[in-house]
Chain A
Amino acid sequence: MLKINNLKASIEGKDILKGINLEVKAGEIHAIMGPNGSGKSTLASILAGREEFEVTDGSIEYQEKDLLALAPEERAAEGIFLAFQYPVEIPGVSSTNFLKTAVNQIREYKGIEPINSVEFLSMLKDKMKLVDIDQSLLQRSVNEGFSGGEKKRNEIFQMAILEPKLSILDETDSGLDIDALKIVSDGVNKLRSKDNATIVVTHYQRLLNYIVPDYVHVLYNGRIVKSGGKELAIELEEKGYDWIKQESDAQLA
C-alpha cells in the first residue's frame, strides 16, 4: 500500500528526515516510536501533505501513485487520514456541516453523487456509537471548546466517517486519560480491516497495549534505526531510548 524510499526532508534548511525506508501493507499496523525531536511528527505531516516541509530526496509510493505529486485534499480523497496531534478549531462551523462538506468533496473527486441527508444522518449515528461520542458534539463548532479527550475522540469519529485506507495517528494518546485512551483505541480496532492499514506515531508504549502493532520502528535522528515486532515496544518501555541512541551513534561513528 505504502512504500517510502530513502525519504529526506528539511524545514528552513534544517534536515529532519535523513533517509527513511518503510513499507506498509494492507491489513498491517505499524508503530513509529522514538524520542522527542526524532522526526516522527514530521513524517506524519509529510505523508498528509503539509507543505512547510521540503522533501529533498526520495519517493513515496501509495497505491501505485506518486504520493508527493498529490495535493493534501487529493491524498485525503485517495484514502489517507491523519489524526492530528493538535486538532484545529473552526469556530462557527458545526461538525455535521464540516463532515458533510468533506464527504461530498471526496465523493466528487471519485465521481460519486453527493450523499443525501437521510443517508448521511444514519451514517453519523452508526459511527457515533463506534467511538462513543455524544450527539451534542456534532452540533458544536468543530473542536471549539472541546476537552483534550473530546478532540481526540472527534478525530477518530472523523476517521470512522471518512473510512480511510491508510490512517496515521499522530500522538493520539497524548493528553488522554486511561478511559479516553480505551475508547479511542477501541474505535481504531473496530475500524481495522484486512484492506486498510494504520501507522501509529507515539512516544510511549502505553497506547500499544490497546492498539497492538504488527511492526515497531524506532526513529532516531531522522532515520529508522531499529525495527521489530511488538516486543520491541515493551523493551523500549523498560529500557528507555538511551540504549538505542548509543547503538545508533556508535554505528555512525
Chain B
Amino acid sequence: MSQEQDTQILDKLTKSEYKYGWESKFESDSAPKGLSEDIVRFISAKKNEPEWLLEWRLKAYRKWLTMKEPKWPNVTFPPINYQDIIYYSAPKQKAKPQSMDEIDPELRETFEKLGISLDEQKRLTGVAVDAVIDSVSVATTFKKTLGELGIIFCSFSEAVQEHPELVKKYVGSVVPANDNYFAALNSAVFSDGSFCYIPKGVRCPMELSTYFRINAANTGQFERTLIVAEEGSYVSYLEGCTAPMRDEHQLHAAVVEIYAAKDAEVKYSTVQNWYPGNDEGKGGVYNFVTKRGLCAGDSSKISWTQVETGSAITWKYPSCILKGDNSVGEFYSVAVTNKYQQADTGTKMTHIGKNTRSRIVSKGISAGKSQNSYRGLVKVLKRAENARNFSQCDSLLMGDQCGAHTFPYIEVDNTSAIVEHEATTSKIGEDQIFYCNQRGIDDENAVALIVNGFAKEVMNKLPMEFAVEARKLLALTLEGSVG
C-alpha cells in the first residue's frame, strides 16, 4: 500500500464517530459545584449514612487536602479544577421500582441504545444487573435468586443501610482511604457503587454485572465497589461503562476493592468505553481508578480481565496483594488507544505469601496519535518463598504517529523467586492487510480480524456475554485506523 493510501485509510478510520453520544433528560437532584466539608456532609446526609461513615469520609477529605496529584504517569493534561465539579447528582425516582415496568422509559431507552436492554439480559443471558446511572442504583435484578443463596448484590448505599456491619468491616480494608490522591477523593465523595458479598462455600450461579454511566453534564463519577468473597466461594463480576459525548472533560475516580478469603476465587471483568474525546482531542473522560484485590486467605485467587477502549486518559492498575500462601493473582488486559487518547495502565502484583503465583498478560494497541503505556510492578517480599511470576507485554502499532511504551518494574527480596518478563512490539503489516484484501476482506474487517487475533489470549478470558460485545468494541474503536 502506498503512503498516500495509508493516510487516506487512516483518516477514514480515525473519523469514525463515538456511537454512544447522547444525553438522557432525567431531572437531576444535584449538589452545587465544588468540594468542601459541607459537600461531603451533604452527600452523606443525602444517603442517610451512619455517623461512622461520615467521619470516615471527612477523614479522607482532610487527608486529600494534604495530598498532591500524582505526576509520574506517562500522560499529560491541563490542571483539573476540583472546585468546578459537581460531586453529587442523582436521577429522581419516586419510589424504588419493583419491576422493569416501573423503570423510567427514557432510562430503558438509554439502556437499549447501549445495546444492553435489561429485559433482554434478564430473559436471555441470566445476568443479574445492578445498573448505576449517575451514581444511584435504579434497578437491581435477580436479587431474589441470589438472596436464596445468601448472596448480597446491591448498591453500595443500600448495603450501608442494610448491612452496615459488613461495609464497616471491609470498606477501606484493601484500598485505604488515604491510599492515593484519587482514592482519597473517592473515599470523601463517593456517591454510590456496588456491593457484593458471597457467603462461605457458595458458588455464585450467574455472572454479576454492573453497567456504569456518567450522565448529568459536569458530574464527576465517584463509584465505589466492594466485593467480598468468603471462604471457598466463587464469583464472576462484570463491569461495563459508556459515557455520553461532551466537550468538557469528565473526571471518573472510582475505587474497587476485592477481598478473597481462603480458597475463594473472584473474577473481575471490565469493558471500558468511556467517551475518548473527539478527533482533535477535545473532551473525553479522565479515568483515574484504583482497583485492588487482596488474596487474604491461603489458596485464594483473584483475576482481573480488562478491555480498555475508551477515556481520554486512563490511569489504572488493577492489582493483587497475594498475602495468603499459594494464592494466585492474574491480570489480563487489552488496552486500545486511538486519536489523542492516553493510557497508562498495568498492574501490581505483590507477593507476600509462600508459593504465590501471578500472571500478567498485557496487549496494548495504539493507533492515531495516541500514547499507550504498560506499567507493571512485580514485587516479591522476603518471606514469599517460591514465588512465581510470568509477564507478557505485547504492543501493536497502527500507523506511525502513535506510541507504545513498556515500564516493567521488578523488586525481588527472596532468592527463590522466579520472575519472567517477555515483551514484543509489532506493527500491523501492509502485507497482512493486503492478504486479507485479496481474500475479499476489506480494510476495516481486516483490522478487526488482526487486532482480535492479537488480543485473543485476553479476549478468551472474558465471559461469553461480554466477549461478543468486546470484540465489536475493538473493531469499532479502531474503525479505519490503519494502513
Contacts and interface: CB of A to CB of B under 8 A. Distances in A.
B5 interface: yes
Contact of B438 (A76, A90, A97, A103): A76
A105 interface: yes
Contact of A90 (B2, B437, B442, B450): B450
3 nearest CB pairs, A to B: A92-B453, A93-B453, A72-B437
A204 interface: no
A29 B435 CA distance: 24
B449 A49 contact: no
- Among B5, B436, B456: residue with most chain A CB under 10 A: B436
Interface string A76-103: 1100011010011111110001110111
7 contacts: A73-B440, A84-B435, A90-B453, A91-B453, A93-B456, A98-B439, A162-B440
Contacts of A99: 439
Interface of A: 48-52, 71-73, 75-77, 81-82, 84, 87-93, 97-99, 101-103, 105-106, 109, 141, 158, 162
A9 B445 CA distance: 29
B390 interface: no
Interface string B406-446: 00000000000000000000000101101111111110010
A87 B454 CA distance: 18
Given A76-B437, A90-B450, A98-B449, 12 more contacts: A49-B437, A50-B434, A73-B436, A82-B438, A84-B438, A93-B450, A93-B452, A97-B449, A101-B445, A102-B441, A109-B440, A162-B439
A166 to B, nearest CB: 12
Given A51-B2, A52-B1, A88-B432, A101 B453 contact: no
B455 interface: yes
A72 B449 contact: no
Given A51-B2, A73-B442, A106-B440, A93 B431 contact: no
A72 B431 CA distance: 13
Contact of B455 (A84, A89, A92): A92
Interface of B: 1-2, 5, 429, 431-432, 434-442, 445, 449-450, 452-457
Contact of B454 (A89, A91, A101): A91
Contacts, number: 79
- Among B1, B437, B439: residue with most chain A CB under 10 A: B439
B455 A88 contact: no
Contact of B441 (A75, A82, A88, A105): A105
Nearest to B429: A88
A90 B449 contact: yes
- Among A73, A98, A99, A101: residue with most chain B CB under 10 A: A73
A92 B438 contact: no
Nearest to B454: A92
Contacts of B453: 90-93, 141
A76 B434 CA distance: 11
Given A93-B453, A105-B442, A87 B435 contact: yes
A90 B441 contact: no
Contacts of A158: 439
Contact of A101 (B5, B434, B449, B457): B449
A58 B438 CA distance: 22
A77 B445 CA distance: 14
Nearest to A75: B438
B437 A73 contact: yes
Contact of A93 (B1, B429, B449, B457): B449
B218 to A, nearest CB: 41
B435 A73 contact: no
A51 B434 CA distance: 9
A89 B435 CA distance: 9
A198 to B, nearest CB: 16
Nearest to B2: A51
Contact of A72 (B2, B438, B445, B456): B438
B198 to A, nearest CB: 34
Contacts of B438: 48-49, 72-73, 75-76, 81-82, 84
Nearest to B430: A52
Nearest to B439: A102
Contacts of A141: 453
Contacts of B452: 92-93
Contacts of A50: 434
Contacts of B456: 92-93
A98 B448 CA distance: 11
A106 B442 CA distance: 10
Nearest to A144: B453
A48 B436 CA distance: 12
B2 to A, nearest CB: 5
A105 B440 CA distance: 6
A102 B440 contact: yes
- Among A52, A72, A75, A88: residue with most chain B CB under 10 A: A72
Contacts of B429: 88
A71 B436 CA distance: 12
A73 B454 contact: no
- Among B429, B440, B442, B454: residue with most chain A CB under 10 A: B440
A73 B5 CA distance: 15
A72 B455 contact: no
A51 B5 contact: yes
Nearest to A77: B440
Nearest to B453: A92
A49 B441 CA distance: 13
Nearest to A48: B438
B32 to A, nearest CB: 51
